Amino acid sequence: MMRLPLSWVQFLIDLGLLRRPDFLVKDVPELPDEFGDGFVFREVRGGYQKWLHLKCPRCGEHIQIQLAGARRWSISIDWLNRPTVDPSIWQTGSCQAHFFIRKGAIDWCGDVEAPRQGVSRYV
């Protein structure tokens, strides 16, 4: 499937023609030194998906998700660079955040409380 260049998607968001999703995808060859809010970084080496990196939307801790091997998650990316990750992501470290990413949006699981209104989702 064809994907719009990320710069075009950002242009459409800046014009107000698209709503900014919680996450967009950036493909990278290796783990970035710093990764910003609002993006998941899909690590691709030699044409193969290896890892997905993102900041936890609750506590900001680095989450690394395996995309290769027998026990892996899958990611699909639509033409607007919005990721859908399957199965759910459960931050078993500090904050216990449990959520899905569907078409770039965070869908909190019922076993954890979503961040309160008015509180930034990103640290």
Q: Domain for residue 117, yes or no? A: no
User: Is 65 part of any domain?
Assistant: yes
Domain-embedded: residue 69: yes
Res. 89 pLDDT band, cuts 50 70 90:
very high
Is the pLDDT at 51 greater than 80? The verdict is yes
- In the chain the first and final C-alpha atoms are separated, in Å, by 33
The mean pLDDT value for 82-103 works out to 92
Find the mean pLDDT for residues 17-36: 90
Flag whether 119 is in a domain.
no
Mean pLDDT score, 107-122: 58
| Residue 110: pLDDT band with limits 50, 70, 90 | confident
Question: Domain residues for 100?
Answer: 22-31+38-108
d(CA 81, CA 95): 27
- Number of helices and strands in the chain (H, E): 1, 8
27 found inside a domain: yes
Q: What is the pLDDT of residue 123?
A: 29
> What was the pLDDT predicted at 122?
34
Looking at the structure of the chain, the number of domains it has is 1
Q: Do the domain assignments include residue 4? A: no
The pLDDT tens digits for 65-77 are 999 988 899 999 9
Residue 5 has pLDDT above 90, yes or no: yes
Assess if residue 17 is contained within a domain.
no
Q: Is 120's pLDDT higher than 50?
A: no
Sign of CA dihedral 96, 94, 27, 120: positive
Residue 9 belongs to a domain: no
